[in-house]
């Protein structure tokens, strides 16, 4: 038992940093609207193109060539102005991975709904940073395990911008302990938020996506949903459930041009990893072939690819691990 308890201690310490934004239960719902910036002229849905046309020196061209260049440039500008800016909902977006995702999408020009459970001040800061990056944002508080809060969240996005193009289910909590000691409430709290919350948000957002016949759903799972973990029966079960749900959503909504994928992070740097003792950190890093923690921005980069890049349009029903080689 002593050995098991010791293993549990390390597991519980490490599991708290394993991934994701901790979005604690908050029964209240609050909406704070921020100024909406106009769509960026350079934004091309479903992504902002990094392609640059080669420069042409018109002084070296004949009249016909100069006329052709002018026509092409005018046509390109017209297409850019006519394409709508994508709207993204990110749950648990006030810190950690959720914050990094919200900033990445906002920096790409998206309109972002920043959801939080308790950290309203931090969520407001995220929204302000998105606007500084050239995006637009509103802040919406709520507990995604509650249907009425989820409906209010989706309605906030719809009322403000008329639609939802991208849903990132990131909110999650942990209640770690060995199975033999786990109370039913500890089991249920994690299942309700980490799994039922994904179900509720996906079901509500997909209704809007179906009307447009397009959408991208990205669920933040965890490597423990693939491998299990001592002291995390509830969390592992919830994340495994998210993976199964993702594959089912991908099959059911594919005919409507809606993709659904899961990302399974490993150990991601956070405030908690910074407080770990040297011995515990050494043991954790020994399990990671790359020998370091992942960064929230690295997870956000993968989310951004799945959400906005045309190359991701043919990817659905997949689980992408981002864990430094832990699971392979």
What is the Cα–Cα distance from 156 to 1, expressed in whole angstroms? 50
**Tens of pLDDT, residues 190-225:** 999 999 999 999 999 999 999 999 999 999 999 999
The pLDDT of residue 44: 37
The pLDDT of residue 18: 55
The pLDDT of residue 83: 61
N- to C-terminal Cα separation, the chain? 30
What is the Cα–Cα distance from 143 to 137, expressed in whole angstroms? 19
DSSP result, 211-235: HHT-EEEEEE--THHHH--TTBHHH
Decide if 176 is inside a domain.
yes
Decide if 153 is inside a domain.
yes
| Edge-to-edge strand ranges of the sheet holding 319-322 | 30-32, 136-141, 111-116, 87-90, 166-169, 215-220, 258-265, 319-322
Report the sign of the C-alpha dihedral through residues 13, 18, 22, 24, in that order.
negative
DSSP result, 274-293: HTS-HHHHHHHHHT-TT-S-
The pLDDT of residue 187: 98
Q: What average pLDDT does range 148-164 have in this prediction?
A: 98
Query: Is the model's pLDDT at 54 over the cut of 50?
Result: no
**Tens of pLDDT, residues 250-291:** 999 999 999 999 999 999 998 777 878 889 899 999 999 999
Decide if 80 is inside a domain.
no
The pLDDT of residue 296: 98
Task: Please classify residue 301 by burial: count the beta carbons closer than 10 Å to its beta carbon, then call 0-12 exposed, 13-18 middle and 19+ buried.
Answer: middle
- Give the Cβ contact number of residue 85 at 10 Å: 22
Decide if 69 is inside a domain.
no
As annotated, the binding site includes 92-95, 170, 235-239, 268
Give the pLDDT band of residue 309 (cuts 50, 70, 90).
Answer: very high
pTM across the whole model: 0.78
Question: Into how many domains does the chain fold?
Answer: 1
Decide if 138 is inside a domain.
yes
Question: CATH number for the domain including 309?
Answer: 3.40.50.720
Q: Is 116 a catalytic residue?
A: no
Identify which has the larger pLDDT, 317 or 18: 317
CB 299 within 8 A of CB 90: no
The pLDDT of residue 270: 86
Mean pLDDT of the residues in the chain: 82
Identify which has the larger pLDDT, 65 or 246: 246
| SS3 of residue 116 by DSSP | strand
What is the Cα–Cα distance from 34 to 138, expressed in whole angstroms? 5
Query: Is the model's pLDDT at 114 over the cut of 50?
Result: yes
As annotated, the binding site for NADP(+) includes 92-95, 170, 235-239, 268
Decide if 241 is inside a domain.
yes
Decide if 297 is inside a domain.
yes
CB 176 within 8 A of CB 99: no
Query: Is the model's pLDDT at 88 over the cut of 90?
Result: yes
The pLDDT of residue 170: 98
Query: Is the model's pLDDT at 232 over the cut of 80?
Result: yes
Range of the domain at 221: 14-39+85-322
Out of 116, 235, 253, 293, pick the active-site residue. 235
What is the Cα–Cα distance from 184 to 181, expressed in whole angstroms? 10
**Tens of pLDDT, residues 11-45:** 444 554 555 433 333 334 444 445 443 333 333 33
The pLDDT of residue 273: 79
What is the Cα–Cα distance from 157 to 136, expressed in whole angstroms? 12
Decide if 150 is inside a domain.
yes
Residue 141 dihedral angles phi and psi, to the nearest 5°: -90, 150
The pLDDT of residue 67: 41
The pLDDT of residue 271: 78
């Amino acid at each position: 038992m002593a050995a098991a308890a010791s293993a549990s201690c390390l597991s519980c310490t490490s599991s708290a940093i394993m991934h994701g934004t901790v979005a604690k239960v908050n029964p209240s719902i609050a909406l704070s609207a921020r100024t909406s910036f106009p769509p960026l002229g350079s934004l091309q849905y479903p992504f902002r193109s990094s392609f640059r046309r080669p420069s042409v020196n018109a002084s070296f061209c004949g009249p016909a060539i100069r006329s052709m260049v002018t026509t092409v440039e005018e046509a390109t500008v017209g297409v850019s102005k006519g394409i709508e800016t994508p709207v993204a909902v990110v749950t648990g977006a006030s810190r950690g991975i959720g914050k990094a995702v919200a900033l990445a999408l906002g920096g790409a020009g998206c309109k972002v709904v920043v959801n939080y459970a308790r950290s309203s001040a931090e969520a407001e800061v995220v929204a302000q940073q998105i606007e500084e990056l050239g995006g637009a944002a509103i802040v919406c508080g709520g507990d995604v395990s509650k249907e009425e809060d989820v409906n209010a969240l989706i309605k906030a996005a719809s009322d403000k911008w008329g639609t939802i193009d991208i849903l990132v289910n990131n909110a999650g909590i942990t209640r770690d302990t060995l199975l033999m000691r786990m109370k039913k409430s500890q089991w249920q709290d994690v299942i309700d938020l980490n799994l039922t919350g994904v179900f509720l948000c996906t079901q509500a957002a997909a209704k809007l996506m179906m009307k447009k016949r397009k959408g991208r759903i990205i669920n933040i799972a965890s490597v423990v949903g693939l491998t299990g973990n001592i002291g995390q029966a509830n969390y592992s079960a919830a994340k495994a459930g998210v993976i199964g749900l993702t594959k089912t959503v991908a099959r059911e909504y594919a005919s409507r041009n809606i993709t659904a994928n899961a990302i399974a992070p490993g150990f991601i740097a956070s405030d908690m990893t910074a407080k770990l003792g040297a011995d515990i950190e050494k043991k954790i890093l020994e399990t990671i072939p790359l020998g370091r923690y992942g960064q929230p921005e690295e997870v956000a980069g993968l989310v951004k690819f799945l959400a906005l890049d045309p190359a991701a349009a043919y990817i659905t029903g997949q689980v992408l691990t981002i864990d430094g080689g832990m699971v392979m």
